[in-house]
Amino acid sequence: MLEYRRATDRPERLDAFLASAVEGLSRRRAQRFIEQRTVTVNGRSARKGQQLRDRDTVELWQDPTDPGWNAAPSPDLPLRVVHEDPHLIAVDKPPGIPTVPLAADEHDTLAGALVARYPECAPLGRHPGDAGLIQRLDRGTSGLALAARTAPAFEALLDLQENDDIEKVYLALVRASPEALPAAVDAPLGPAGRRGRTVRHDPDGRPAHTALEPRDAIGDLLLVQATIHRGFRHQIRAHLAHVGLPIAGDSSYGGPELEGLPRIFLHAEQVRLPHPLTGEPLELRAPLPGDLLPIVRPPTG
């Protein structure tokens, strides 16, 4: 993360700033990173030719020394496709696998399963190995993930996400509280913990908004519907913990352990968006998977 400090009265172009601030990065390559949407300014995708203001926060989401690589195909990994057309794929990610690889030789990722079946996804993304995916669900989280099949669709999906036109609805299970569930959490987030592996409320962090709604009461538990748009890493987990309602099974944020719960109870249930190329409204759903359903609907008899 870089913070821009203006040295003169004249504004500075983003590409020039990156070339001066990142060792070994040329201005031409900085321009390419901006075009590939691997640079953000204050949490939003940077624009070509963008001028920086004092104290702007600039982030480069790709190692400037990395020549780039694609996710290793994982043809044996199951892939449940919820929606497919020539431009867009929506899949239901199972729990227990990473969304994207951290290195070129990592197998058994959602990105790898996509590449094995849709090789045109391989070069698409803001980071190496993304395979056209525009969000990264945590390893333990299940549910809907969107991926582009073409470069124009990927660019359009990024624009939709940046303009808050993609609505993502998650289900989370928490301990019921005597206090009323807040309708929303507005709390900027920043890195915390060892090596920034978790996030927490940080007044100087990235602005983040999560809408909350009670779905079902199950004994002393509450199934919560959490809605976000762009979303940041661990946003729902950190926001619920921030208001004293950490998610069941989420040991990183102090969530309660429940008998029979094998992982964090967080599932991406719905995504609503206009189609990135046609504008047609899409509403996609992934029902609760078999490992979570018995927790909220215990068998009878």
Question: What phi, psi does 31 have (nearest 5°)?
Answer: -60, -40
Sorted by sequence, the CB contacts under 8 Å of residue 8 that are 6+ apart come out as none
Angle at 94 between CA 90 and CA 95, to 5 degrees: 135
Strand partners, 203: none
Catalytic residue among 85, 138, 159, 250: 138
Instruction: Check if 138 is active-site.
Output: yes
Q: How far apart are CA 56 and CA 45, in angstroms?
A: 13
Sorted by sequence, the CB contacts under 8 Å of residue 29 that are 6+ apart come out as 64
Q: Taking the C-alpha atoms of 39, 132, 288 and 96 in order, what is their torsion angle to the nearest 10 degrees?
A: -80
Nearest to 268 by CA among 284, 245, 249: 284
At 154 the three-state DSSP class reads: helix
Q: What are the tokens at 204?
A: 């100087």
Q: Which residues are catalytic?
A: 138
